[in-house]
Amino acid sequence: MIDPEHLVEHLSITFENRWEWNDYLKGWFDHWPEKLAKETVFQVFEEIVEKFGIHAILGEILDKLYPMVYEVQLCGSF
């Protein structure tokens, strides 16, 4: 698995388009939230959105991340 600091770079280098990397991204977001602070996962999510846009992420992934992002935003961490 790719660590959080290298995920955006890995997506850019390894995959030609978002359709190819969404399955990988889903697996990443299934694995890391249990091992990292929610704020760290949120930062990675923000980096992906800034680089590729929100439209590049499958709705299934967004549905999974929404509760965590909402909690981080609600707590005022960012």
Supply the pTM of this predicted model: 0.79
How is residue 23 written in tokens? 């399955």
Mind listing the pLDDT tens digit for each residue in 9-46? 999 999 988 888 898 999 888 888 788 888 888 889 99
- C-alpha 55/C-alpha 17 separation (Å) is 12
Of all residues in the chain, what percent carry a pLDDT higher than 90?
Answer: 35
Residue 76: the pLDDT is 62
Say how far residue 30 (Cα) sits from the centre of its chain: 10
| pLDDT (mean) for 50-75 | 87
